[in-house]
């Protein structure tokens, strides 16, 4: 692939998103994406990655990934890893388009025609204001009156959890992800002293309303100590959770292994792990997790993500793909997921899917009756929406290769 240029695109619709557009000498265009710290990622791509790509014969995405492998920070998900992830996704998209194949066909063919989903109960402006995971970045006030309809699901699971659960069941969603203990974690430092009553009331309301009609995925955002997480998981065991996600930071595999031995609740970890199979090996070898979560915009893209999925499979573990970041990342995840035997579920955020994703992109995966599937378009299927690039809050930077 003779590359012509690399472009970064940023948007006021979601300031944390960095879109990467790579064009080859024949005019074909591949799109990639990553999330968080957009200004840092953009600087890395143009100042560091672009010169490397200009000097490298990029025959495959894997060749580019090898050339871009950083000297420092190679086991994390910092700006280098996120920038490389977006580049990798764009190059796979470009390769599939050059071959006139849907991406999952290029990756070996469909194993799943579609995948069950769970709805991450975010709202339209969730994690929009800052590049960090905090209640200050929830994008909604929990003390004000409800928004009066739509998909403001974060407000709803705190204030009307039973009503939201019933709505999701009737809409065909088999699962919902919520984080009702984050405020308790922030107030207590994730310790055993945390007041769990508000979060437990949310779980109680959901189960009283819909029983076992919906799977509950409990997000904990890595904010808990070992002792605090142990107490919390013991408290929520009666609610039959599908998993507890990131109860402890993913770079503490020994503590996660101890926690897993103390509870019957499955432990899911990995969306922020970074560095593909390198970041997951310790978690798997320590027996620390029951499900590996992948975010292709953070772990090194498809090149590293598929290695991590195969590594999990070699340990007999399932994989789940992360969403709640952007339309290109979601489409790419669904393509990899449908081509990977040990993927069991795909995350979606319906507030994003039906909200700002539609303002940025066309060709989104098909979300219907609790399942998601790819389109038949070449590549990952995403094209930028008409008028998106001409918006006043869209910025672009191009480097010629």
Q: Name the helix (H) or strand (E) containing 188.
A: helix 182-188
The 10 Å Cβ neighbour count of residue 321 is: 29
CA distances from 162 to 43, 82, 214 (A): 45, 37, 11
Distance between CA atoms of residues 118 and 81, nearest Å:
27
Tens digit of each residue's pLDDT (9 = 90 or more) over 174-194? 999 999 999 999 999 999 999
CA nearest neighbour of 272 among 242, 293, 256, 258: 293
Phi, psi of 399 (to 5 degrees): -120, 130
C-alpha to C-alpha distance for 375 and 153, rounded to whole angstroms: 27
Q: How far apart are CA 295 and CA 278, in angstroms?
A: 14
Q: Is 36 left (phi over 0), alpha (psi -120 to 50) or beta?
A: left
Distance between start and end Cα atoms, the chain = 12
**What is the per-residue pLDDT for 147?**
59
Average pLDDT, the chain: 95
275 vs 151, residue with greater confidence: 151
Alpha-helical regions (H) of 288-373: 301-314, 327-338, 350-353, 356-360
In words, the CATH class of domain 3-100+385-400 is alpha beta
- What pLDDT, on a 0 to 100 scale, did the predictor assign at position 144? 77
pLDDT tens for each residue of 101-112 = 999 999 999 999
What is residue 379's DSSP assignment?
B
Q: What is the mean pLDDT of residues 16-21?
A: 98
| 266-279 pLDDT tens trace | 999 999 998 777 78
Length of the chain: 401
Q: What is the pTM of this model?
A: 0.97
pLDDT at res. 277: 74
Q: What is the 3-state secondary structure (H, E, C) of 31-98?
A: EEEEECCHHHHHHHHHHHHHHHHHHCCCCCHHHHHHHHCCCCCCCCCCHHHHHHHHHHHHHHHHHHHH
Closest among 119, 33, 120, 39 to 84, alpha carbons compared: 33
- Asked if residue 135 has pLDDT above 90, the reply is yes
Look at residue 146 in the predicted model and tell me its pLDDT: 60
Residue 209 is predicted with a pLDDT of 98
Residue 305 scores a pLDDT above 70: yes
So what CATH class is 105-380? alpha beta
Whether 146 contacts 157, CB under 8 Å: no
Q: State the average pLDDT over residues 11-36.
A: 97
108's CB contacts (< 8 A; 6+ apart) are: 339
> Burial level of 1, CB count in 10 A (0-12/13-18/19+)?
buried
CA 63 and chain centroid, separation = 25
b/e 25-37 (16+ beta carbons within 10 angstroms → b): eeebbbbbbbbbb
Phi, psi of 63 (to 5 degrees): -65, -40
Please, where in the chain does CATH 3.20.20.120 lie?
105-380
259 Cα distance to chain centroid: 24
- pLDDT tens digits for range 43-52: 999 999 999 9
Residue 136 class from Cβ within 10 Å (0-12 exposed, 13-18 middle, 19+ buried)?
Answer: exposed
């Amino acid at each position: 692939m003779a590359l012509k240029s690399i472009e970064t695109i940023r948007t006021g619709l979601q300031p944390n998103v960095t879109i990467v557009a790579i064009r080859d000498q024949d005019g074909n265009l591949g799109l990639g994406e990553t999330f968080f710290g957009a200004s840092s990622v953009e600087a890395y791509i143009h100042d560091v990655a672009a010169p490397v790509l200009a000097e490298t014969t990029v025959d495959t995405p894997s060749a580019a990934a090898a050339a871009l492998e950083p000297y420092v920070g190679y086991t994390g998900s910092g700006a280098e890893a996120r920038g490389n992830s977006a580049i990798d996704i764009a190059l796979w998209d470009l390769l599939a388009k050059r071959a006139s194949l849907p991406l999952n066909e290029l990756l070996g063919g469909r194993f799943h025609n579609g995948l069950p989903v769970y709805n991450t109960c975010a709202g339209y402006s969730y994690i929009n204001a800052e590049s960090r995971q905090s209640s200050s970045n929830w994008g909604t006030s929990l003390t004000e009156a409800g928004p009066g309809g739509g998909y403001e699901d974060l407000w709803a699971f705190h204030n009307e959890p039973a009503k939201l659960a019933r709505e999701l069941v009737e809409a065909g969603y088999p699962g919902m992800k919520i984080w009702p203990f984050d405020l308790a974690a922030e107030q207590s430092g994730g310790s055993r002293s945390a007041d769990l009553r508000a979060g437990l009331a949310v779980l109680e309301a959901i189960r009283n309303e819909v029983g076992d009609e919906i799977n509950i995925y409990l997000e904990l955002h890595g904010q808990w100590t070992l002792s605090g997480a142990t107490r919390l998981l013991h408290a929520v065991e009666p609610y039959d959770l599908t998993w507890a996600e990131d109860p402890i930071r993913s770079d503490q595999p020994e503590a996660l292994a101890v926690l897993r031995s103390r509870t019957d609740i499955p432990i899911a970890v990995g969306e922020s792990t970074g560095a593909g199979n390198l970041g997951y090996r310790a978690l798997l070898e320590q027996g620390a997790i029951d499900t590996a979560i992948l975010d292709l915009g953070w772990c090194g893209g498809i090149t590293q993500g598929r290695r991590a999925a195969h590594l999990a499979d070699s340990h007999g573990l399932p994989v789940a793909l992360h969403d709640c970041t952007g339309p290109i990342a979601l489409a790419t995840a669904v393509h990899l997921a449908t081509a990977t035997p040990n993927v069991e579920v795909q995350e979606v955020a319906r507030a994003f899917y039906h909200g700002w994703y539609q303002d940025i992109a066309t060709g989104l995966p098909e979300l219907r009756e609790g399942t998601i599937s790819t389109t038949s378009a070449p590549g990952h299927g995403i094209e930028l929406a008409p008028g998106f690039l001409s918006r006043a809050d869209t910025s672009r930077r191009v480097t010629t290769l």
